């Protein structure tokens, strides 16, 4: 009888075009009736057979059953899926695109906050869409979009509790959230809090002034050693959110309200400064700071599916922020100085996005964003006064996409941003034009190519628009520069992804970045000024080339998953400094999966890096971690250990020029010996259906499945 049922199922699949027919239908059936007596579940059959699929303006990924079982939120689901197009970095614990650019998260076509990403139930994810340059109005002109398409609850929902605790007592992150749906209404509620205790927070730096004049005398070098590595930081946060969503025949209306509360009861430190030779008297000071902030907000968004394949999205966001702080500064052998501040900020934003799909191959999006902010700060203590600050922001962008065939398309976006800032009677205006072009080519079902290029200009405002020289310290002065030109930034990313099977994927990438009129700090000797005078010049052009692969390999019936990346960087700077550097980077992770458990390890070797926008060189320390997880029904446990037995130093930052060099080490309790235990319990109830081929918010356009 069991064999007969299997034969009937296979014949039914063949009659309907196999699993591809289900993937392209308007709705994915939950069950298949056999002889009108029992229902055979087919949902998992479809998900297991289709891992990725081309869609109108990107690609859709279908998580496996195992990925959903062990994931606890949105980011951890992408970590479990191990996608080379969306790699997870074990050092930063963030997901980027293949070129290293950050992604923008959406859930069912609505931009998701960190609270919503943490609240997401991985078991309800139908698919994940990656849209490099979507034209659908729901995305508001954003690029590098990762859109989670969720199964819809007809009635019911789920409740979820997350308790994340560092076993040494240094930090904790706790939250509870629920989703409740009934017919056309959906309600989401979230409440969470965190705490952080860092007893060894701060930096230890050494500044060296070379061949300078101080008080009329020549010095070959003066060393300034500043030790503030053992500061104590205490921080507490609370956050709450309530969201209501109404969906009805192409209309999606949502309102989100909430507040954030943050308190820093203690930030104390002892900083000592020693000079060699002792041209200046060595000294120390103690400091003690505390602060309190609250931030209520309200956001309303409306998505409309209009006739003739048009869509419109309108977003209104308003928020208020209040922050107060106090600081006690106690220099050596001097009376303590008490300073306080009270800051109030109001801001409002409105965004409108319109999209039109002319035919299956051509679509257009136009987005407009405007915002206004007001800031008022009262100062008390050694300085008593009032500061007012206003800003306005306007952004316009247009994106056009043309699809040649499934997986092959070209997209272009052009826009401009204008910022106007007024402070203490001065008004500064900045224009930032930008252009982006993306081309995707599907060579075959197993291989695809992507080429993107971005160009934008960065202007200047603020204290760089003057030639005034002001003293910063006993040995340094600061000079503005009113002759700076606009910086032009251009980046091209070329990648090719090869997926010969569901067990192997590799993405080769080449990234070239050039910055014209790049800003660089300069330290010079100027007659009449002791020490050095620092200013900013833009006579340099920087070039950076990055090449290397991203890899995912699944072995032994996919029980062993290996992921990693390797990169070779060459960096060249022209102009005053004329420097050439090359360095290596990468990471490697291995995870073994059982039926209800997994165990893995990650390592990120120490790396040397040059920042694109600065001559600063950064050296990061080893990062290695171990993880173990267990999942059974509604319970998910995860234990992780990061850098056990390592030092608290996380990185070294240094600069070396003719008259000045600096070397700064950064320390934190969270750089080593971090042992974390996370418990997640999720309880689902009610009825839900799969909308595997619905576009975001039920609209046409980006996200619609493409036929084979």
- pLDDT tens digits, residue range 437-473? 999 998 888 898 999 999 988 776 555 557 788 888 8
Is 23's pLDDT higher than 50? no
% of the chain beyond a pLDDT of 90:
65
Is 400's pLDDT higher than 90? yes
Supply the pLDDT for residue 691: 56
Is 315's pLDDT higher than 70? yes
Is 9's pLDDT higher than 90? no
Is 91's pLDDT higher than 70? yes
3-state secondary structure 468-486: CEEECCCCEEEECCCCCCC
Is 44's pLDDT higher than 80? no
Supply the pLDDT for residue 311: 96
What residues are paired with 58 via a beta bridge?
Answer: 55
Is 320's pLDDT higher than 90? yes
Averaged pLDDT, 558-563: 96
What residues are paired with 488 via a beta bridge?
Answer: 457, 516
Supply the pLDDT for residue 431: 86
Supply the pLDDT for residue 698: 35
Is 617's pLDDT higher than 90? no
Averaged pLDDT, 265-288: 90
Is 49's pLDDT higher than 50? no
pLDDT digits (tens, 9 = 90+) for 166-225: 999 999 999 999 999 998 999 999 999 999 999 999 999 999 999 999 888 999 999 999
What residues are paired with 618 via a beta bridge?
Answer: 609, 653
Supply the pLDDT for residue 50: 60
Averaged pLDDT, 276-290: 90
Supply the pLDDT for residue 696: 41
Domains along the chain? 1-50 (no CATH), 163-469+489-500+508-516+586-687 (2.40.170)
Other CB atoms within a 10 A radius of the CB of residue 108 amount to 25
- Strand (E) or helix (H) holding 39: strand 38-41
3-state secondary structure 518-575: EEEEEEECCCCCCCEEEEEEEEEEEEEEEEEEEEEEEECCCCEEEEEEEEEEEEEECC
Q: What is the pTM of this model?
A: 0.88
Least confident of 8-22, 194-208, 245-259, 413-427: 8-22
Is 87's pLDDT higher than 50? yes
Which of 241, 233, 286 is closest to 260 using CA atoms? 241
pLDDT digits (tens, 9 = 90+) for 475-493: 999 988 877 888 899 999 9
Round to whole Å and give the CA distance between 59 and 49. Answer: 16
Question: Buried b vs exposed e over 517-529: b needs ≥16 C-beta within 10 Å?
Answer: bbbbebbbbeeeb
Average pLDDT across the chain, whole number: 86
**Is the bond into 76 cis (omega within 30 degrees of 0)?**
no
Which of 183, 190, 169 is closest to 241 using CA atoms? 190
Which of 163, 443, 139, 184 is closest to 303 using CA atoms? 139
Question: Buried b vs exposed e over 384-398: b needs ≥16 C-beta within 10 Å?
Answer: eeeeeeebebebebe
Supply the pLDDT for residue 30: 35
Under the banding of pLDDT at 50, 70 and 90, the label for residue 13 is very low
Other CB atoms within a 10 A radius of the CB of residue 463 amount to 13
Under the banding of pLDDT at 50, 70 and 90, the label for residue 332 is confident
pLDDT digits (tens, 9 = 90+) for 682-700: 999 988 887 543 444 333 3
Is 435's pLDDT higher than 90? yes
Which of 643, 650, 636 is closest to 674 using CA atoms? 643
In the structure encoding, which two tokens stand for residue 213, read together? 């004049």
Is 527's pLDDT higher than 50? yes
Yes or no: say if 596 and 630 are a contact pair by the CB < 8 Å rule: yes
- φ, ψ at 338 (rounded to 5°): -110, 125
pLDDT digits (tens, 9 = 90+) for 632-667: 999 999 999 999 988 899 899 989 999 999 999 999
- Strand (E) or helix (H) holding 13: helix 2-15
pLDDT digits (tens, 9 = 90+) for 582-608: 889 999 999 999 999 999 999 999 877
Under the banding of pLDDT at 50, 70 and 90, the label for residue 34 is very low
Under the banding of pLDDT at 50, 70 and 90, the label for residue 706 is very low
In the structure encoding, which two tokens stand for residue 26, read together? 């308007």
pLDDT digits (tens, 9 = 90+) for 384-393: 888 888 999 9
Yes or no: say if 387 and 411 are a contact pair by the CB < 8 Å rule: no
Yes or no: say if 467 and 482 are a contact pair by the CB < 8 Å rule: yes
């Amino acid at each position: 009888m069991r064999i007969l049922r299997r034969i009937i199922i296979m014949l039914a699949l063949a009659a309907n075009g196999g699993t591809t027919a289900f993937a392209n239908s308007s709705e994915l059936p939950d069950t298949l009736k056999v002889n009108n007596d029992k229902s055979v579940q087919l949902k998992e059959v479809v998900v297991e057979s289709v891992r990725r699929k081309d869609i109108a303006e990107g690609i859709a990924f279908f998580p496996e059953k195992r990925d959903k079982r062990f994931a606890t939120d949105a980011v951890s689901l992408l970590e479990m899926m191990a996608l080379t197009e969306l790699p997870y970095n074990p050092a930063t614990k963030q997901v980027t695109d293949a070129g290293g650019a950050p992604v923008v998260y959406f859930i069912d076509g609505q931009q998701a906050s960190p609270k919503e990403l943490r609240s997401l139930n991985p078991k309800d994810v139908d698919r994940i869409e990656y849209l490099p340059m979507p034209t659908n109005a729901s995305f508001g002109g954003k690029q590098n979009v990762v859109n989670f398409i969720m199964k819809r609850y007809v009635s019911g929902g789920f409740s979820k509790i997350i308790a994340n605790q560092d076993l040494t007592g240094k930090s904790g992150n706790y939250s509870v959230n629920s989703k409740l749906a009934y017919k056309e209404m959906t309600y989401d509620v979230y409440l969470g809090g965190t705490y952080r205790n860092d007893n060894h927070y701060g930096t230890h730096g050494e500044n060296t002034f070379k061949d300078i004049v101080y008080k009329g005398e020549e010095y070959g070098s003066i060393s300034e050693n500043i030790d503030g590595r053992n500061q104590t930081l205490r921080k507490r946060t609370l956050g709450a959110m309530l969201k209501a969503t109404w969906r009805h025949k192409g209309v999606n209306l949502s309102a989100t309200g909430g507040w954030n509360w943050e308190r820093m009861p203690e930030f104390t430190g002892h900083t000592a400064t020693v000079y060699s030779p002792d041209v200046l008297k060595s000294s120390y000071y103690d400091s003690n700071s505390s602060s309190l902030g609250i931030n209520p907000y309200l956001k309303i968004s409306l998505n409309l599916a209009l006739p003739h394949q048009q869509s419109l999205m309108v977003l209104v966001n308003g928020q208020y922020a209040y922050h107060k702080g106090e600081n006690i500064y106690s220099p050596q052998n001097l009376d303590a100085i008490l300073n306080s501040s009270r800051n109030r900020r109001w801001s409002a934003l409105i965004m409108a996005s319109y999209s039109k799909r002319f035919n299956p191959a051509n679509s257009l999006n136009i987005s407009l964003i405007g915002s206004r902010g007001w800031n008022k700060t009262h100062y008390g203590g050694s300085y008593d006064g009032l500061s007012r600050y206003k800003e306005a922001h306007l952004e316009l962008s247009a994106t056009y996409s043309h699809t040649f065939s499934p997986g092959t398309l070209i997209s272009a976006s052009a826009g401009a941003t204008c910022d106007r800032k007024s402070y203490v009677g001065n008004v500064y205006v900045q224009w930032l034009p930008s252009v982006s072009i993306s081309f995707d080519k599907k060579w075959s079902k197993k291989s695809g190519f992507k080429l993107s290029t971005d160009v934008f200009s960065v202007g200047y405002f603020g204290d760089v628009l003057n030639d005034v020289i002001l003293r910063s310290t006993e040995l340094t002065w600061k000079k503005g520069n009113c002759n700076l030109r606009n910086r032009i930034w251009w980046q091209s990313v070329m990648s090719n992804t090869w997926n010969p099977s569901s067990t192997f994927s590799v993405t080769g990438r080449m990234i070239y970045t050039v910055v014209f009129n790049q800003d660089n700090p300069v330290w010079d000797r100027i007659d009449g000024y002791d020490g050095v005078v620092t200013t900013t010049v833009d006579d340099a052009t920087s070039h950076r080339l990055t090449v290397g692969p991203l890899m995912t390999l699944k072995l032994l019936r996919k029980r062993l998953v290996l992921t990693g990346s390797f990169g070779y960087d060459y960096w060249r700077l022209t102009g005053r400094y004329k420097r050439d550097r090359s360095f290596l980077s990468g990471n490697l992770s291995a995870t073994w999966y059982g039926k209800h458990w997994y165990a893995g390890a990650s390592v990120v070797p120490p790396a040397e890096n040059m920042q694109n926008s600065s001559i600063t060189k950064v050296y990061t320390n080893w990062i290695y971690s171990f993880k173990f997880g267990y999942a059974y029904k509604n319970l998910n446990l995860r234990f992780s250990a990061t850098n056990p037995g390592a030092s608290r130093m996380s990185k070294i930052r240094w600069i070396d020029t003719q008259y000045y060099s600096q070397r700064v080490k950064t320390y934190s309790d969270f750089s080593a010996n971090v042992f974390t235990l996370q418990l997640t319990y999720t309880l689902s109830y009610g009825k839900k259906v799969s909308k595997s081929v619905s576009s975001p918010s039920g609209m046409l356009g980006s996200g619609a499945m493409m036929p084979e």
